[in-house]
Structure formats: structure tokens, C-alpha cells
Chain A
């Protein structure tokens, strides 16, 4: 179509094409990153960019900014907030023009390429005392491969329970009180479910993602972070579990193409019996899928390592900021214990500061589903890991999905497919 594709916003899009014929480069990169502690007056104007939080939480952010400005007279924080889609594109354009906001909200996978271009401040160098204020697992989340330093103040964390549909379990020969705890149990129960329902009900809506390999206990990368290694015997084992499910229709046919969101919708439509989720999903179920909510079962994530998966967001400081002292002070302020706790209470996510998870809010189960999920998730976070390597790009994700689809379709064996995926990902990693 010649007319605009609204989809363009869905695809993270922008390709590059700079005014760069002669090696003047698309990006500003290359400038010396801040070395050593940043000093200087906390004063002046800086910009602070968040990702899609304005619509619902502007009162919170305006409050934080106001308090900071009062505590540090002479500072002005300009708050920018980007909408849900196109965040990577916006960052690409800004980074190319050397115009990243001073303080910017990033996830580890977005921080990695910016770090590679030396566009982020090394925090262990700039503020050596900050590390002790955050949970080690969270701080570690922004330590870049082959490095010991972190490039982002950890901000909010998330980890999810596994949700399942008790009615679909009960109707199809499974015990709703005994949801699967490991991937092997998932496979066993899935086979029962598929047989009883004659393929009408599927157990799961997705082929495994890289984090599933992590949860299964597969070593994803070598210790130096220079090569992927998920084509090990364990990786093959997990892939074959899913192949067995696919063959008896215990895995939805759409799993070959489904993304996380897609499989979540199938769960809401009660077409699959089990799905991993987040604490805040409960609210969605309540308002959007009350039929499901009535039968919702909640359990802990499947893991062979004893450690759950964790997603995290951070707040980084641009290496090109003209006002680094203020930027660092504000980034640290936004992510301090007090502000994180206040934010966690309004959003159903979890703070990354030391000790904050001991707040009664995260330890007291008042009997409601919400509190139960929250307390369980907070407990999980004590040991949770961000399994997804920071260098695992979206393109690598789709390579993995495509290769796994070949296995499901019987076009290649698990070993062949994983070998091929690892080879392609390594090539991209080295490029």
C-alpha cells in the first residue's frame, strides 16, 4: 500500500543512512567516556527520558522532579517520555545525532549497543559508592560482557508467576492443584492434556525463547561473553521436549510464529492452558477476561536452576551530557530506595535497591490474589537472574525462533537447528 502503514510503529524500524559517505560515521560515538569520578556542581538543566510512563504516572514523576529541584536549587529537569512503540528508533536517531537525553531509561539490550559506541557513562568509575545501594543481581544486569563495570543504575525489576487455567486442567485429566514445576513436567502434563482433549486444547503457545534455555539450565554463552553455546546437549533436550508437545498438538500450531504477546492473548482467550506472566497481568485478567480470572491458577515459574527469570530496566547517563554531575545525581535519585518503593507501590513492579524488598508491602500476604502474587514474586527476586544475554539482539531472537520452527516442522533435527542458530548468532555477535 502506498498509504502509511501504521505498523511502522510496531516494527522497531529505522535503518540508517547517514550523511556519512566518508567515514564521518552515523553516530557521534567515539568520544572519550567519562573516566574517574564525575565532579562538578549539581546545577543547571538536564533532560530525563522515560519509556511510556507519562500517561499513567505523570503525578509520580512530576513529584520526584519537583522534590529533586527543591533539594538542589538551580537545577531544572526536563521530563521527556516516549510512547510504547518505536523506542529503539528514537534512540537510534538521537544517538546518531549525538543528542541522547542526559538521563535515559534503558533496558539491558538497549544499553549494550550504546555502551559499545561509548555513549554511556561508566558508573563504577563515576560513582564508585553506588554499587552497594542496589541488589547485586540487578547491578550485574547492566555489567557489559567482558567488563566489570555497570553502565546503568538498576531501576525497576519484574519477574512473573506462571498462570494456568484450572478449568482446562480439570476438564482434561490434570490435577489443578499440581501444575508443572519443570519443563519435563510441563511436557508430561501437556501430553495428557492433548490426549484427553484430542488436540482441542493446547498446553502452551510458544516455542522456547532464549530465557527458557537459561531456565532449563543451558549455558547460553561462554564465560567471556564472546560465543553462544546454547547448542549443548541440554539445549537439544529442551528443544526435543517441545517437539514432542508440538507433534501431539499440545503446543498451539501458532507457536511457530507467536511472540510473547501473541501467546498471552491465546491464554486470555482460553485456548492454551498455561502461560508465563507478570504480577500486573492479574489486573488485566480481571477486567478483560473475567471468564479466565474465575479459573486462574497461579504457580511458580518452571526452572531447573532454582533461579527465576527477571526483567529489568535501568537509568543511564549519556557520556555526552554537558551536565554530568547533575545527570548522575538525578539518575541516582530516581532510582534510590525511597523513590523506587513509592513507584513500586503504584505499578506492581519491584524495586532494585538493597533491602527495599523487605518492606512489609512485599512480605505480607493479606490473602488477596494480588498480594499473594506480589509476595511470591518478591521472594523469587532475591535470587532471580536476567537470563537473556545483553548482546542477544532482536534479530538473534528471530533466528532462534525460525530454527526452532524448522525442528517442529520436522525439517531439521534439534541439534542441526541449534547448531545453525548458534553459528548465525555468533556471526552477528562478531560483526
Chain B
């Protein structure tokens, strides 16, 4: 494909994709007294200001909330990457009795409609004495079925040769998993990392239900306070959403190079 065509296509998709985000950014920069419901809408702030961002911090303890969110998200990324990689590896590259049933359990779990089980989960956490802790926020999504299936898919695509060679060398399954298999699927692990970060960063209802002390609240709950009961300031809400989205985009930029690592590269290194 010629370079020009490629850029034209890229730009077209770019404009379609980024529109809402820019819109939000623009609203968050609008000054008091600008018409934000104007029709046709005003794309550029007439009186740009960053004061909305500092006002967010004045209204809610945004950094405390963000720290809680970060703890939860990092724990979630870790448990998902490790747990899903291990399960995915067993499901794709090991032979054992009951494998079909284990796989079935994950597939069925993937299909369970999430909302219907929340009160049940809450009562479990309560009897375990975990309510109002960040542990309770992490647990139900600690290893998601979707991620297990993604990892299984990735490991299944690996060729057998390198691993067979290692097996002859006397490496046990843990060594083969850690040294050969995992480095070969870095791309998928990056995907799992970003999906689980996103999932936990965005989750609202579960943390809301399981937490009680506002000091433990996560960012998504915290930002919801910006939708005032009486007068809600759309600029603050927009600034809040930008604050919430920024880490996700940064994470994506940081991880994206892993999406392009070839499988052969990893195996050779291993």
C-alpha cells in the first residue's frame, strides 16, 4: 500500500476516533459563562482555562481516590497476568484428565451475566469480613475468564519445537512456562494487562457496593461526586473524565510496542 494512501486512511479513522475525546478536552477547558449547550456547538473554548482541573482537586480529594484506584488496578493487572497466563498455559500446552471440564468452567464463567451475581458476591465478602477493603474490590475480577481464554489462544499458537527441545534438556513445566512460553506471548500479556487495568480502573458499581468508608473509594466513585445533586458543572465533570482517561492512554502508549513483538523473537531469546 502506498504511503500516501496509508496516511489518508489513518487520518480518516483518526478523525472518527478522536472526536469525542477532543470534545471532552475542549469542554474541560471552557471558562465559566461559555455556552456549552450551544447549537451548533462551539468546538474551541473561547476563554480557555485550566482552572477546572485544579477545581476538581478542590472539590474532591482526587489524589487519594487515584491512589486507591492505582492500588486496585495494579493488583488486578498482576493477578490477571499471572493467573491467566498460568491457566492459559495449562489449558493449551498440557495434557491432563479433566482439562475439558476446566476449560468449560472458564467458558461458562465468561457467559455469566455479571450484574445478576453482585449481591451474592457482596454477601460472600461480608461473611468473609472483607467488606470495606480494597482486597474485596480486587477479588472477584482477580483472574477473569476472558483473559484466561485470550492467553490460552496465544499459547496455542506457539510452535512445539522450541518447547520440545527444552523438554529434552530436562526443563520442568514451570521452567518451560517462565523461560520459553511467557516471553513468546508478551503481546498478549500486554493486552491482558491493559484490559485488566482498564476494567478495574473503570469499575464503578462493585467498588461502590463493597466499600463503605469514603477514604477507601476509588477514582471512578470519587469523580461521580462531581455530578452534583443540585447544579452539576459540566466542565468539572469533563475535567474529571480527562483525569480518569489520561492514565489509560499513557499505559497504552507505554505497552504498545509489545503488541508488535514477533513470536520468533521471544523464543530465540528464551
Q: Do chains A and B touch in the complex (CB under 8 A)?
A: yes
Question: Which A residues are closer than 8 A to B by beta carbons?
Answer: 2-4, 6, 8-9, 13-19, 26, 51-56, 80-86, 89-90, 92-93, 96-97, 99, 265, 268-271, 278, 280-281, 283-284, 286-292, 347-349
Q: Which of B155-199 contact A (CB under 8 A)?
A: 195, 198-199
> Nearest Cβ distance between residue A27 and chain B, in whole angstroms?
10
Q: Is the CB of A86 within 8 A of B208?
A: yes
Q: Is the CB of B205 within 8 A of A92?
A: no
Q: Is the CB of B38 within 8 A of A6?
A: no
Given A9-B224, A54-B225; A92-B198 close (CB under 8 Å): no
Q: Which of B190-239 contact A (CB under 8 A)?
A: 195, 198-199, 202-205, 208-209, 212-214, 220-222, 224-234
Once bound together, how far apart are the Cα atoms of A52 and B209, in whole Å? Answer: 15
Partner of B229, one of A13, A17, A51: A51
Q: Is the CB of B224 within 8 A of A288?
A: no
Q: Is the CB of B209 within 8 A of A93?
A: yes
Once bound together, how far apart are the Cα atoms of A348 and B228, in whole Å? Answer: 13
Instruction: For the complex of A and B, list the 3 residue pairs with the smallest distance between their C-beta atoms, beginning with the closest.
Output: A83-B224, A268-B37, A9-B204
Q: Is the CB of B226 within 8 A of A55?
A: yes
Q: Is the CB of B120 within 8 A of A19?
A: yes
> Nearest Cβ distance between residue B217 and chain A, in whole angstroms?
8
Q: Is the CB of B212 within 8 A of A271?
A: no
B36 within 8 A of A: yes
- Write the B81-93 contact mask toward A (1 if CB under 8 angstroms, else 0): 0000000000000
Partner of A347, one of B202, B209, B225, B230: B230
Given A96-B123, A270-B39; A284-B117 close (CB under 8 Å): no
> Nearest Cβ distance between residue B255 and chain A, in whole angstroms?
16
> Nearest Cβ distance between residue A418 and chain B, in whole angstroms?
32
> Nearest Cβ distance between residue B151 and chain A, in whole angstroms?
15
- New A-B pairs, 4, CB < 8 Å, besides A17-B117, A83-B222, A289-B35: A55-B59, A80-B213, A84-B227, A89-B205
> Nearest Cβ distance between residue B147 and chain A, in whole angstroms?
10
- Write the B116-127 contact mask toward A (1 if CB under 8 angstroms, else 0): 111110111010
- Closest residue to A349 on the B side, CB-wise? B230
Given A52-B225, A56-B228, A290-B35; A4-B119 close (CB under 8 Å): no
Once bound together, how far apart are the Cα atoms of A86 and B146, in whole Å? Answer: 26
Q: Is the CB of A83 within 8 A of B39?
A: no
Given A84-B227, A84-B229, A85-B204; A2-B146 close (CB under 8 Å): yes
Given A15-B115, A18-B123; A280-B202 close (CB under 8 Å): no
Q: Is the CB of B37 within 8 A of A289?
A: yes
11 A-B pairs with CB atoms under 8 Å apart are: A3-B199, A15-B116, A55-B226, A56-B59, A84-B228, A85-B204, A86-B205, A89-B209, A281-B231, A287-B32, A288-B36
Once bound together, how far apart are the Cα atoms of A271 and B231, in whole Å? Answer: 21
Once bound together, how far apart are the Cα atoms of A83 and B33, in whole Å? Answer: 26
B60 within 8 A of A: yes
- Number of B residues whose C-beta is below 8 Å from A? 47
Q: Is the CB of B38 within 8 A of A283?
A: no
Q: Is the CB of A280 within 8 A of B35?
A: no
Given A19-B120, A93-B122, A287-B233; A52-B227 close (CB under 8 Å): yes
Once bound together, how far apart are the Cα atoms of A119 and B157, in whole Å? Answer: 57
- Write the B23-36 contact mask toward A (1 if CB under 8 angstroms, else 0): 00000000011111
Q: Is the CB of B195 within 8 A of A93?
A: no
Given A93-B209, A271-B39; A16-B119 close (CB under 8 Å): yes
Once bound together, how far apart are the Cα atoms of A283 and B233, in whole Å? Answer: 10
> Nearest Cβ distance between residue A3 and chain B, in whole angstroms?
6
Once bound together, how far apart are the Cα atoms of A20 and B173, in whole Å? Answer: 42
> Nearest Cβ distance between residue A376 and chain B, in whole angstroms?
18
Contacts of B39 in A (CB 8 A): 269-271
> Nearest Cβ distance between residue B31 and chain A, in whole angstroms?
9
Q: Is the CB of B123 within 8 A of A288?
A: no
- Closest residue to B141 on the A side, CB-wise? A4
Given A54-B214, A288-B234, A290-B35; A9-B228 close (CB under 8 Å): no
> Nearest Cβ distance between residue B96 and chain A, in whole angstroms?
28
Once bound together, how far apart are the Cα atoms of A17 and B117, in whole Å? Answer: 6
Q: Which has the most chain A C-beta neighbours within 10 Å: B59, B225, B227?
A: B225
Q: Is the CB of B126 within 8 A of A97?
A: yes
Partner of B119, one of A80, A96, A290, A292: A96
> Nearest Cβ distance between residue B181 and chain A, in whole angstroms?
24
Q: Which of B102-137 contact A (CB under 8 A)?
A: 115-120, 122-124, 126
Q: Is the CB of A97 within 8 A of B59?
A: no
- Closest residue to A313 on the B side, CB-wise? B229
Once bound together, how far apart are the Cα atoms of A4 and B32, in whole Å? Answer: 32
Given A52-B225, A83-B208, A286-B33; A348-B230 close (CB under 8 Å): yes
